[in-house]
Amino acid sequence: MTQRPLDPDLSEAARHLTVTCRITAADDPGRYRHVLRGRRELTEFFRAELGWSLHIHEVSGVVRLHKRRDDVPADRGPHLPRRTGRGDLAPAHVLVLVALVCEQLWRRPRISLRELLQSVAQVCAAEAATGRLPSFRIVATDGVSKREAQTARENIVDAIRLLQAEGEITVDADLERAVTDEDAEVFITADRDSLANKFASLSPTLLALNDRPPAQHVEALTAVSLPDADPGAAAQRRAGVEGRRLTALRRVADDPAADPGDDPNDVGYLATLTGRERALNVASALGLVSTVRRDWWEITDPAASGTTGAFPQGRRIERQAALALLAMLPEYHDRFVTVADITTMVERIRAQTPRWAAGYAERTAALAHAAAADLVAAGLLHATGDGDRWQITPGVHLWRVRVRHREQPRSRTQAVPEPDSLFSMATTQGE
């Protein structure tokens, strides 16, 4: 059990690692030096408290945190880099292409985009019929439309962008041009040591993934050693005290919220005195703030260095709609809310303030989906698998939202507020 908090500089670096999993000497020399100074303390903290491995590769100047979770969050993952900012979550086929690109770069650390496209297409062609790899056809021929070939190029360019954003590879030309120009000369360069350090899982061949049903692949890939052949043994291990402890503490350190009742036992680990104390110690060591109820834990990062979210900050209409929805959810009569319910709430606000969200006047359902997505990211709604229905979590009762309507100008000589700023919202968090 953690007896004392980490050093402030080390705590900040640890919190940053929980979201990025990577610190390099070239891009972040300050944090890199802090990790080197406290390497023993930080390595032991992640190992003992969270079961995560911290690897420091001084030759390449890279620190990696390998996080293992068999309850992989379905609503998070790498976001596609866009010129306008962070894009949508990378779809599964782009993540598959990331692995295939890494495989080719391991064999040839410097390769042209044209050669890379051909190599990946050949690998996929050999396996696509079995369903093990997606179809990846880059040339418009009989049976392959121009749009399909263009989409394949866009997908592999997205995979390259992800690796470039992570610092794994360098690209010597504009990738935007490579999407539309088949004759564009683009070369990708990688370092084999960096690629070897990227993946923490054992070889898929050793894991015998082909012999396992897809539902067991995550469990096998996150195992610290060769997994048991009996699926029941893995389930029994997760239901044990150590498995329950790791699951609970990883959620506290890694998620915006944790549910004490989400536990195979009648009394959840976070509901016990020992579990509560240990989880609070871990959060404190990372510099996180935990707001605790018997039925819910809300975890926030005041420094914003250990999270990619900024809720409830932001002046976007979608964020304002999320806050307006959050103001109504504590008094909502049901455990679930639908897109029709949210649309009704938004329309009720627009009836009082017609100029607000004028751009969504004919697309209220789209605004409802955007507002719900913000609350899902904050752990206040839970995705049910149905894109038009969400479960309300107890976390909504930890927030108090006040909507302040701005007064309209009294004369024509006064400035008229922009439609997007006709009202503002203040939020407080607490029991």
Q: Which CATH number does the domain housing residue 132 bear?
A: 1.10.10.580
Q: Is the domain of 86 the same as that of 177?
A: yes
Length of the chain: 431
Q: Kindly provide the b/e burial profile for residues 1-13, where b requires at least 16 CB atoms within 10 angstroms of the residue's own CB.
A: ebeeebbeebbbb
More confident residue, 181 or 268: 268
Q: Is the domain of 243 the same as that of 181?
A: no
Residue 410 lies in a domain: no
**118: number of Cβ within 10 Å:** 14
Which pLDDT band, with edges at 50, 70 and 90, does 412 fall under? very low
pLDDT at 54: 93
For residues 92-101, give the mean pLDDT: 90
Question: What does each C-alpha distance from 325 to 161, 241, 329, 367, 423 come to in angstroms?
Answer: 35, 38, 6, 11, 14
Q: Is the domain of 189 the same as that of 94?
A: yes
Q: Is the domain of 155 the same as that of 232?
A: no
Domain's final residue, options 31, 66, 101: 66
pLDDT at 12: 92
pLDDT at 429: 60
pLDDT at 396: 92
Question: In whole angstroms, what separates CA 15 from the centre of its chain?
Answer: 15
Q: Which of 98, 111, 124, 263 is nearest to 195 (CA)?
A: 98
Q: Is the domain of 140 the same as that of 225?
A: no
How far apart, in whole angstroms, are the C-alpha atoms of residue 405 and residue 391? 29
CATH number of the domain bearing residue 358? 1.10.10.2260
Q: Is the domain of 347 the same as that of 287?
A: no
Q: Which of 269, 295, 257, 252 is nearest to 381 (CA)?
A: 257
Cβ atoms 336, 392 nearer than 8 A: yes
pLDDT at 425 over 50: no
Residue 236 lies in a domain: yes
Domain's final residue, options 169, 197, 225: 197
pTM of the model: 0.81
Q: Is the domain of 122 the same as that of 183?
A: yes
Q: Is the domain of 296 the same as that of 242?
A: yes
For residues 267-272, give the mean pLDDT: 90
- Of 96-100, 244-248, 300-304, the range with the lowest mean pLDDT is 300-304
**266: number of Cβ within 10 Å:** 7
Q: Is the domain of 324 the same as that of 283?
A: no
Residue 33 lies in a domain: yes
Cβ atoms 323, 402 nearer than 8 A: no
Which pLDDT band, with edges at 50, 70 and 90, does 387 fall under? confident
For residues 359-369, give the mean pLDDT: 87
- Cα angle vertex 22, ends 17, 24, to 5°? 120
Q: Is the domain of 177 the same as that of 142?
A: yes
Q: Considering just the CA atoms, what is the radius of gyration of the chain in Å?
A: 24
Residue 360 lies in a domain: yes
Question: Each residue of 181-203: pLDDT tens digit?
Answer: 777 788 999 988 888 888 777 77
- Boundaries of domain holding 86: 79-197
Residue 414 lies in a domain: no
Q: Is the domain of 190 the same as that of 210?
A: no
H/E stretch holding 302: none
Q: Is the domain of 117 the same as that of 176?
A: yes
- What is the residue type of 62? V
What is the number of alpha carbons within 13 Å of residue 399 lying toward its C-beta? 28
How far apart, in whole angstroms, are the C-alpha atoms of residue 152 and residue 178? 12
pLDDT at 426 over 50: no
Residue 427 lies in a domain: no
pLDDT at 342 over 60: yes
Number of domains in the chain: 4
